[in-house]
Amino acid sequence: MPPRRKRAAAALSFTAMHSGSILLIWLAGVTLVQLLPPLTLTLALGSALLLAFAFAPQRARRLVRRVRIFLLVIAVLFAWFTPGEAVIRAWPSLSPSREGLEMAYLHGARLLVVVCAVALLLERLPADRLVSGLYALCRPLACAGLSAERLALRLMLVFRYVEGGAGRGWKDWLGGQDEGEEAPVLLRRERLGWVEGTMFCGLVLAWAGWLWW
C-alpha cells in the first residue's frame, strides 16, 4: 500500500474510533507517564515533543509558552529548596542541590509530556467529539448526582470561546460588544459500547490500585 493510502487509512481508523475510547487511551498514557523511570521518561519526552511539533506545531508552541511560568516555578522550588548535595560546592548556600535538580527534571518532563499529549489530542479530535467522549464517560456517574449533559454543554462552551469561536474573544466580553445571536450548541452523542465500558473499568481499577500501592 502506498504511503499516502496508509496515512489515510490510519487517519480514517482514528476518526472511526469512539471518542470515549480515544480519551481512555489518552488517560491511560498520561497516567503511565507518571510512573516512568528517568531514562524511559526522557525517551517519552523526546518522542512527545517530536510528535507534537510535527503534527500540532502551533497548538504545541502555544501550550508550551503558557506553561513556561510553571516550569520555572518547578525548577526553582525543587532545585533550590530540596535538601541534598550542593552542585556548586564553593557556594553551598546559593547552589541548587543535585537531588533537587533531579526532581525538578522529573516533574518538568512529566508536565511537558502531558502538555504535548493535550496538544495532540486537541489537534486530532474536534471539540464536539471531545465533549461527546467526556459525556459518554461521565454518564455512569449519573447515579452519584452528576449531570453529564450539563458538564458536556459547559465544556462545549468553554472550547468554543477558548478557540475563538463565534468571532468573539475575552476582550469582546469585557467590552460588552454584542455580535448578534450565538450559534446553537449541539451535543453529539456516541453510544458507549462494551469495549469502552471494559476499558473504563480497567483504567479505574488500575488507577485505584496505583493509589493504594
Tens digit of each residue's pLDDT (9 = 90 or more) over 52-90: 999 999 989 988 998 999 999 999 999 999 999 999 888
Same domain, 103 and 192: no
Domain residues for the domain of 143 are 127-176+183-213
13 has a pLDDT exceeding 50: no
Q: How far apart are CA 95 and CA 97, in angstroms?
A: 6
Report if residue 197 sits inside a domain.
Answer: yes
Amino acid identity of residue 168, one-letter, is: R
Full DSSP string of 9-69 = HHHHHHHHS-HHHHHHHHHHHHHHHTT--HHHHHHHHHHHHHHHHHHSHHHHHHHHHHTHH
Report if residue 78 sits inside a domain.
Answer: yes
Report if residue 150 sits inside a domain.
Answer: yes
* Residue in the structure block whose three cell numbers are 458538564: 151
**Residues 169-207: tens digit of each pLDDT:** 444 544 444 544 555 656 666 666 666 667 667 766 776
Point out which residues pair with 86 in neighbouring strands: 97
Whether the CA torsion 118, 122, 125, 126 is positive or negative: it is positive
Same domain, 90 and 161: no
Q: How far apart are CA 132 and CA 137, in angstroms?
A: 9
Same domain, 140 and 111: no
Report if residue 12 sits inside a domain.
Answer: no
CB–CB of 176/4 below 8 Å?
Answer: no
Report if residue 74 sits inside a domain.
Answer: yes
Q: Cell triple for residue 49?
A: 515533543
Enter the pTM of the model.
Answer: 0.72
Same domain, 116 and 132: no
Total domains present in the chain = 2
